[in-house]
Amino acid sequence: MINRTVSVAPMMGWTDRHARYFLRLISQHALLYTEMVTTGAILRGQRDDLLRYHAEEHPLAIQLGGSEPRELAECSRIAEQHGFDEINLNVGCPSDRVQSGMFGACLMAKPELVAQCVEAMRQDVSIPVTVKCRIGIDDMDSYAAFEQFVDAVAGAGCDVFIVHARKAWLQGLSPKQNRDIPPLQYDYVYRLKQQRPELTVVINGGVKSHDDIAEHLQQVDGVMLGREAYHNPFVLSGIDQQFYGSDAPPRSREQVLGLLMDYIEQEMQAGARLHDITRHIHGLYHGQPGARAWRRKLSTEAHKPGADSRLIQFRDCA
């Protein structure tokens, strides 16, 4: 059974396999999510590359983007065969590209279709199928509309809802603006859990600290961190001890980098580029003396011929 107390959101362009391995070095228990992977990319693209991950990343969920039940079912089977622990359906991304593919947040307006997708996916796999959604879209932003969506999808057997506690504007706002401008409405998510206690409800949006996590956990089953976990990844330090009861001491930043150096060496030997890994770690020393010089070193030198894992050492910048 997956422990959803704390998780890190699927973030396009960010939560690739290198970023996830790095985050796993900080927290051994938080649930990690892949970037959204479309059904078309899995069925007609470089499947093995898209679904590649390191065994250390578990527990690990894959997020799928799509709206055709048969294709989602087939991709779910493939994902289970590749060893993922959960399959999540994206019903929250508001980008134009996602809308044009008829998936993401626009599916909030089609609860019966989402229910059909979930039912098809669940029939073909034994691992959990979950949904990540918004509280609404455009003018469909009442609690009643949100509740109607959840009821339809829950009726198809989905019992885990990860809710970004903002609505999305499908026209007029960019994806970035949709992460900031619509106000957070945590009360919708809290109310859902109160009214549907049999559901597992995970809240997402605006979470920045352990105190935030602890406060939300008084109302819901789990908390998902998004951009904060990427820009300030050491926010995950101590998560295992505070929320999972781990007796192991949290790793220091230096210990994390030491382990990451070994990973970098292995990956570079297999053909990975240094920059593809180091671009994800810029926030590790967020707020610490020397952080700016370290980030500058990573940005300017990771592309250079001969650069290797030693580049990420911090001691020369402090």
What residues are labeled active site? 93
Angle value at C-alpha 95, between 282 and 51, nearest 5 degrees = 60
Contact yes or no for 138/108 (Cβ under 8 A) = no
Picking from 8, 6, 5, the residue whose alpha carbon sits closest to that of residue 63 is: 8
DSSP 22-58: HHHHH-SSSEEEEEEEEHHHHHHS-HHHHT---GGG-
Angle value at C-alpha 238, between 234 and 239, nearest 5 degrees = 95
Give CA–CA dist 29/236, Å, rounded.
10
Place of tokens 């297999």: 270
Give CA–CA dist 156/152, Å, rounded.
7
